[in-house]
A and B are shown apart, each in its own frame.
Chain A
Amino acid sequence: MSSAAPPLLRVDGLSVDIAVPAGTLHAVTDAGFDVRPGETLCVVGESGCGKTMTSLALMRLLPRAARIAAGRVAFEGRDLLDLLDAEMADLRGNRLAMIFQDPMTSLNPVFTIGAQLEEVYRRHRAAGAREARERAEYLLQRIGIMSPGLRLRQFPHQLSGGLRQRMMIAMALMCSPSLIIADEPTTALDVTVQVQILRLLAELQREFGMALILITHNLGVVARIADKVAVMYGGRIVEAGQAADIFRRPAHPYTQALLDCVPAPGRSKADGRLGSIPGRVPSLIGEVRGCMFRNRCTYARSTCAADDIPLRADARGHTARCVLEAVP
């Protein structure tokens, strides 16, 4: 997309540690990426790869046991990690907003939808009740909700899953943020609704010029909406680049294996078997070194256990952290 524009968000060397009884869990290690205005970055990976911790770190909403061990998060010219809590609270929901995975637990059950939507606007825009209500009604109309006035008076439990997820989107849009972070926003939804919600997000993103970081494990979703992709494994970004490059020429054995696993009509292998990756995700507790994928990798060799896995990059900015020159 607009590759000339300066990045809206630039993350450098981000590491997140979590204190667990057995020691320190290195949830995210040395993650770096940037997002330009209006761009869509998809962060892909399986459960436990650190993608949710990365997004919570950007929002500074990490659970108490977790802490940012290192890194810089430059957003609109400021380092988010240097801000006071109050300054961060002024940005959150205002310039950057988050859509959580489960709309049932992230909406407050004892307040109406309207109260929750309007609170954001009143807090950040110092707007009155009527102005906030008008903004909420406008957005609900924009996201295709019939009778917005009625919906705003309802409580979360009175809405279906698809409607609640739309409300989360509306809430994130209230103050027209420049960046939205969406953590698995459609995972709990049905496939037809998933497509409708993703189209809606893409449409609103174009209209309001927002950048989007979408956290997901669904490679089908990624292929259809991402400009850029970052693949995470074991808390590290193992491959990153333009979406088309990642899908057509995966440069890391993990990305390649993951793509082979996706069942899709007409994509079963010739022998009628589905792909899978043997073994299990390594523990991230204690000292971790070398390539985290090596114990499941077909191409693993002795150099994979070394500390300095080279970062290979091509002219198009497609990077992969792997000892192999190229994936066979």
Chain B
Amino acid sequence: MTPVLELRGVSRRYAIRKGWFARPAELLAARDVSLDVRRGEVLAIVGETGSGKTTLGRMILGLTEPSAGEIRLDGKPLASVGRRSRSRRIQPVFQDPYSSLNPRQTIGQIIAMPLHVHRIGAAGERQRAVRQMMERVGLSPALVHSYPSQLSGGQRQRVAIARALVGQPEILVCDEPTSALDVSVQGQILNLLKDLQQSLNLTYVFITHDLAVVEYLADRVAVMYLGRIVELGTTRAMMTAPRHPYTQALLGSVLTPEPGLGLPDLHLGRGFPDPLNPPPGCPFHPRCPSATDVCRERAPDVTPTDAGFVTCHVQPAQTPTECDVSERRLVC
């Protein structure tokens, strides 16, 4: 499969002002990220707040320019593709359906916007396309004249998905599309996203912190920590045999609703690294249960694995946690 998106050594720097006269500090939100996104796959990007996963998504959408490195769309540099044709092919679905829809526009106007921007079809055809898309995402066409404030969270997220898909893009960048929704609604939206991906053969870059969602939806997973991808592999490999201690900790943190198991002991240190002043060596070493001297001194190289890579000196066998999540419940 040819990659539809290629990221080569992509970094993004931000200057953080610390005071009027102080020199601005440098925050590397993404650091030397290299990654291929294949046509028709769901690639999940997992990581904690501040790991750079949203920055990476914004760079793919063209909303943020990389400070270094290159992103290629079908082999062509994204920077040379042009905003209009880029947004025709890559569309976002954001986390919060309360702030990502214009409250003064009707649902019909919101969904039709990409058609206006890209001058697709005449007025009648646009209306038809909007109605078709509304039905496709499970919105009653009767809502076409409603305003976002009249809709529930799940319905709003359906509007956001309809807006993203109405112009028939190839790639969707979904940034935590269900984390603002109630549990009872999350399932509907994830089922919908999965159906649409399969029936329209879409490519998803799916940003999330929820590994349960990853297992349901993703073909491959990239795990980010402090701006770097620390491990990349197939969902199956990552769920059954993660090699980076951080991936192992993430997996160990999944709390399934089974009473009596107690809370897992992740054996993680509590020294949270400052992104403005990342630790030397491996960025994860202050929290890593397996850290050695070499981890404290030298950043690990990229080691290829069966279906991806891992950046870790130690690559410990998965340490069984107190209530061992990996063995008891993962059915992959």
Q: Which residues of A contact B (CB under 8 A)?
A: 46-47, 144-146, 160-163, 190-196, 198-199, 202, 217-226, 243-244, 246-248, 257-259, 261-268, 272-278, 280
* A318–B321 alpha-carbon span in the complex (Å): 32
Chain A residues positioned under 8 Å from B190 (CB to CB): 263, 274
Known: A220-B254, A263-B213. 15 other contacts (CB 8 A): A46-B183, A46-B184, A47-B182, A192-B268, A224-B263, A244-B259, A261-B183, A261-B184, A262-B256, A265-B251, A266-B332, A267-B212, A268-B216, A276-B185, A280-B152
Chain B residues positioned under 8 Å from A267 (CB to CB): 212, 256, 329
Q: Determine if A217 and B250 form an interchain contact, defined as CB atoms under 8 angstroms apart.
A: no
How far is the CB of A139 from the nearest CB of chain B, in Å?
A: 15
Known: A190-B209, A275-B187. A223 touches B259 (CB 8 A): yes
Q: Determine if B191 and A274 form an interchain contact, defined as CB atoms under 8 angstroms apart.
A: yes
Q: Determine if A258 and B183 form an interchain contact, defined as CB atoms under 8 angstroms apart.
A: yes
Q: Which of B184, B266, B332 sits near A195, CB closer than 8 Å?
A: B266
Q: Determine if A192 and B254 form an interchain contact, defined as CB atoms under 8 angstroms apart.
A: no
Known: A192-B48, A262-B183, A276-B187. A144 touches B256 (CB 8 A): no
Q: Determine if B259 and A248 form an interchain contact, defined as CB atoms under 8 angstroms apart.
A: yes
Q: Determine if B331 and A266 form an interchain contact, defined as CB atoms under 8 angstroms apart.
A: yes
Chain A residues positioned under 8 Å from B271 (CB to CB): 146
* A244–B262 alpha-carbon span in the complex (Å): 12
Chain B residues positioned under 8 Å from A199 (CB to CB): 263, 265
Chain B residues positioned under 8 Å from A223 (CB to CB): 255-261
Main DSSP-derived SS at the B contact region: loop
Chain A residue at smallest Cβ distance from B260: A244
Q: Determine if B259 and A247 form an interchain contact, defined as CB atoms under 8 angstroms apart.
A: yes
Q: Which residues of B contact A (CB under 8 A)?
A: 48-49, 152, 154, 182-188, 190-191, 209-213, 215-216, 239, 249-266, 268, 270-272, 274, 325, 329-332
Chain B residues positioned under 8 Å from A161 (CB to CB): 49
Chain B residue at smallest Cβ distance from A159: B272
* A246–B260 alpha-carbon span in the complex (Å): 12
Chain A residue at smallest Cβ distance from B46: A191
* A146–B274 alpha-carbon span in the complex (Å): 14
* A248–B331 alpha-carbon span in the complex (Å): 20
* A199–B266 alpha-carbon span in the complex (Å): 10
Q: Determine if B257 and A277 form an interchain contact, defined as CB atoms under 8 angstroms apart.
A: no
Known: A195-B253, A266-B332, A280-B152. A247 touches B258 (CB 8 A): yes
Known: A193-B48, A217-B182. A266 touches B263 (CB 8 A): no
Q: Determine if A192 and B253 form an interchain contact, defined as CB atoms under 8 angstroms apart.
A: yes
Chain A residues positioned under 8 Å from B330 (CB to CB): 265-266
Chain A residue at smallest Cβ distance from B235: A265
Chain B residues positioned under 8 Å from A222 (CB to CB): 257
* A105–B258 alpha-carbon span in the complex (Å): 33
Known: A196-B266, A261-B186. A220 touches B152 (CB 8 A): no
Q: Determine if B255 and A221 form an interchain contact, defined as CB atoms under 8 angstroms apart.
A: yes
Known: A46-B182, A274-B216. A195 touches B263 (CB 8 A): yes
* A267–B261 alpha-carbon span in the complex (Å): 16
Q: Which of B154, B212, B253, B270 sits near A263, CB closer than 8 Å?
A: B212
* A162–B272 alpha-carbon span in the complex (Å): 8
Which 3 A-B residue pairings sit nearest by Cβ, starting from the closest?
A220-B255, A274-B187, A276-B187
Chain A residues positioned under 8 Å from B329 (CB to CB): 264-267
Chain B residues positioned under 8 Å from A47 (CB to CB): 182
Q: Determine if B265 and A264 form an interchain contact, defined as CB atoms under 8 angstroms apart.
A: no
For this complex, 19 residue pairs linking A to B, each with C-beta atoms less than 8 Å apart, are A162-B272, A192-B253, A192-B266, A192-B268, A194-B253, A195-B263, A219-B257, A223-B259, A224-B261, A224-B262, A257-B184, A262-B256, A264-B212, A265-B331, A266-B215, A266-B256, A267-B256, A273-B191, A276-B186
